Amino acid sequence: MMGRPMAERLVAAGFDVRGADMAAEARQALADKGAVVFDSARAAADGCDIVVTMLPDGSVVREVLLGEGAVATCLKPGVLVIDMSSSAPMGTRLLGAGLLERGLALVDAPVSGGVARARDGSLCIMAGGRQADVARAQPLLDAMGATVIHAGPLGCGHAAKALNNYVSAAGLAAACEATLIGEAFGVDPGTLVDILNASTGRNNSTEVKLKPHILSGSFASGFAMALMAKDLHTASDLAKELGMTACGAEQAAALWSAALADLGQGADHTLIHTFLNKRAQSRKPV
C-alpha cells in the first residue's frame, strides 16, 4: 500500500531503483514505472548504495536485514539503510548496533500521511539517526515527502511515529464517539463534523476521515486496523520501557486491540466507528 507508491516517487525523481515485494502484482506495477524488480530483497539490494525498507513491523525488518539469507550479507561497508516502516524504537536501536557491526549505517524514517500522500510525494517523514546519515538520506526523503523532520538520535523517528499514531487514533475514536452520541440525540453526523471542523475539536480525522471514509460507509482509507493497533502498543510499550505510566496510551491500545479482535485482521482502521457503534448499542437498555 505504501512502499510501492513511495518507490515510484523515487523512480520519478530520477533515482535508479531496484525493488522487491512478495506480491507479483506489486513487482509488476513497479516495473511498469521503470524500476528493476526482483523476487527477493537480497537480490534487489545487492550492489546498492542505499537500501530502503517499508515493511509491516520491526521484527520483519530485522529478519530481512539480519536473518537467514539476510540483505546485510550482500551489502558493502558504508551502505546506508533507511527503515521507513513503523518499527519499535528500542528494537531500532538494537538493529542499528547489529548493522554497525557490519559497517552499515541506519536511519529510521517512518512516514505519516497515508496512501494518497505517498502517491503525490507529500508525506511527513520523521527521521532518526546521526546528522550525517540523515543528511545523506535527505535527497531520497525529499523525493517522497513534503516535510522531513530530524527527530533526534536513532530510534527517535520511530518513537515519534508511534506517538503520532497514538494521538491520531485517540482523535479518531473521540470523533467517532462524538458523532454516535450526537446522532442519538438528533444531531446529523455530517453537520456535527462541519461544526467540529469550524471549532476547536478539529483534527486530522474530522477533516479527512469522517466524511470520506466513515459517514460515506466506504471504510477504505487504505490503512489497516492491525497496523494501527500495533503502533498503539508500540507507543504504550515505549512508555513502560521508560518506566513511565501512560494511562491514555494503555487505554487506546486496549481499545484498538479489542476492535481488531472483533473485526479481524483485514479491517480498515476507520471501522473503529463500527466497533464503537456496536459497543454503544450493546449498552442501550432493552
pLDDT of residue 232: 97
C-alpha cell at 228: 494501527
What are 149-183's pLDDT values in tens digits? Answer: 999 999 999 999 999 999 999 999 999 999 999 99
Q: 191-197: which pairs have CB atoms within 8 A and are 24 or more residues apart?
A: none
228/237 Cα distance (integer angstroms):
14
Among 76, 161, 211, 240, the one annotated catalytic: 161
Q: Could you give the count of Cα atoms lying within 13 Å of 280 in the half-sphere of its Cβ?
A: 16
Cβ(221)–Cβ(215) below 8 Å: no
Q: How far is CA 218 from CA 215, 223, 228, 239, in A?
A: 8, 13, 18, 34
What are 182-219's pLDDT values in tens digits? Answer: 999 999 999 999 999 999 999 999 999 999 999 999 99
pLDDT of residue 286: 42
Domain 3-152: give its CATH code: 3.40.50.720
Residues 123-128: what's their mean pLDDT?
Answer: 98
DSSP secondary structure letters along 119-130: HHT-EEEEEES-
Domains of the chain, by residue range, sit at: 3-152, 159-282
161 is catalytic: yes
What are 97-113's pLDDT values in tens digits? Answer: 999 999 999 999 999 99
Residue 128: strand pairing partners = 108, 152
In the DSSP assignment, the letter for residue 40 is: S
Choosing among 3.50.40.10, 3.20.20.120, 1.10.1040.10, 3.10.450.50, the CATH entry for 159-282 is 1.10.1040.10
pLDDT of residue 272: 98
Query: In degrees, to the nearest 5, what angle opens at C-alpha 212 toward C-alphas 211 and 215?
Result: 45
What are 54-112's pLDDT values in tens digits? Answer: 999 999 999 999 998 789 999 999 999 999 999 999 999 999 999 999 999 999 999 99
